[in-house]
Amino acid sequence: MKVSVEFDGSSSDMLYVFADPVDDVAAPSGGGVYVPSPGSFALPSGSTAVSFGRGVHQIGYWKVPATVTRIHLARGAYVVGAIDARESREMRVTGRGVLSGEAFPWRADGTNPTTSCGYDCWDKAVKMLSLARSGSVSVEGLTIANPPHYTISAGNDVATAAWTLDNFKIVGGWRWNNDGTAVPGGSTIRNCFVSANDDAMKLYNSNATIDGCVVRHLHNGSPFQLGWFTKSATNVVVRNVDVIRYDSNDLDTPQGQGSDNHAVFNFATNGAHGGSGTISGFRFEDIRIENAPVRVLGLRAPRGQQIRDVLFTRVSVDGLGAGRNYLDAYRGGVLSGVTFSDLSFGGTKVTAANRSTRAALDITGSATGVAFE
């Protein structure tokens, strides 16, 4: 169970309630396991695992050596800092503890984490949990709070690490640019809770599955982002997801300009005007959107980008937001073969005849082959 209790419509004073399984992942034991005392952290050479027990731990911006393959945060562990484990190709992060970025300034500079870098600092800003782009990576049970920037990252969003992320939670994204998680090719993400203040899940890679998650989205970005640059990806499944609230009220969507990254299902075109790629075989199934977000659909294929064969099945939206939804292709982009099977707004099924009024859905540019079943 993952619940957000909100008072008087406030998006800045929520109570999150999570019910975890009673059985916890066992802490690592044996030789090579470092068990730091609260308040101190000095990794001995030769360590292969770190196990944080109950108490407050200060780790700063920890660049994990490749020899460490297991990190455990036990129940009651509150670890202040960030974990950069990109050097470890075989990594397990487990436990019911909390990893908090509260000590970092917004957009903390990874070369000097006590300072904030400039706006275009994506590549070097501190991410809360940086994981390898290739190899075997898993995360289970962790809660990540108060990120200064992106939360779970591969360092580069185009990755093939085949992560398994299970029962993790992301909360406290108050500071903008608080993206949720990368989704490398071959990954499985399940049973998660993501409260993001930028793109919650970046669907940039092939053969990925997201299943059984809850998204509580704040003002910035999109719950499911396909865009920002041209790319190729196929065979992505997103199913059984509840978007329990989406706070964005941004209506700035001129073609090829502005911040057109405000829709539940989105391709942001800002800057996506070079290269080429094909997105195909995406499936969104059993998606429940509980409020009336400003926009549900914002898919626009820019020059060089093809978006084909996308299926939305059993997608329900509580109400109609202030913005128009759109499927669009322009400047030579291609958008075709988008099918809606049982799409509803406010309890009414959307059809080809009523899509403009019931769903405020515009099909524009050279977009073709849009079907309603």
Q: Quick one: pLDDT band at residue 120, thresholds 50, 70, 90?
A: low
In angstroms, the CA 174 to CA 235 distance is 33
Q: Can you say whether the dihedral through the CA atoms of 88, 228, 249, 285 is positive or negative?
A: negative
**Within a domain: 19:** yes
**Within a domain: 30:** yes
**Within a domain: 316:** no
**Within a domain: 165:** yes
Q: Residue 106: which CATH number?
A: 2.160.20.10
Q: Quote the pLDDT of residue 165.
A: 94
In angstroms, the CA 262 to CA 242 distance is 17
Q: Quote the pLDDT of residue 99.
A: 97
Q: Mind listing the pLDDT tens digit for each residue in 147-205?
A: 998 899 887 666 667 889 999 999 988 887 888 998 988 999 999 999 998 899 999 99
Q: Give residue 45's domain range.
A: 2-198
What is the number of structural domains in the chain? 1
In the three-class reduction of DSSP (H, G, I as helix; E, B as strand; rest coil), residue 144 is classed as strand
**Within a domain: 326:** no
**Within a domain: 155:** yes
- Percent of the chain exceeding pLDDT 70 equals 94
**Within a domain: 65:** yes
Give the helix, strand, coil percentages of the chain, each rounded to 5: 0, 45, 55
**Within a domain: 285:** no
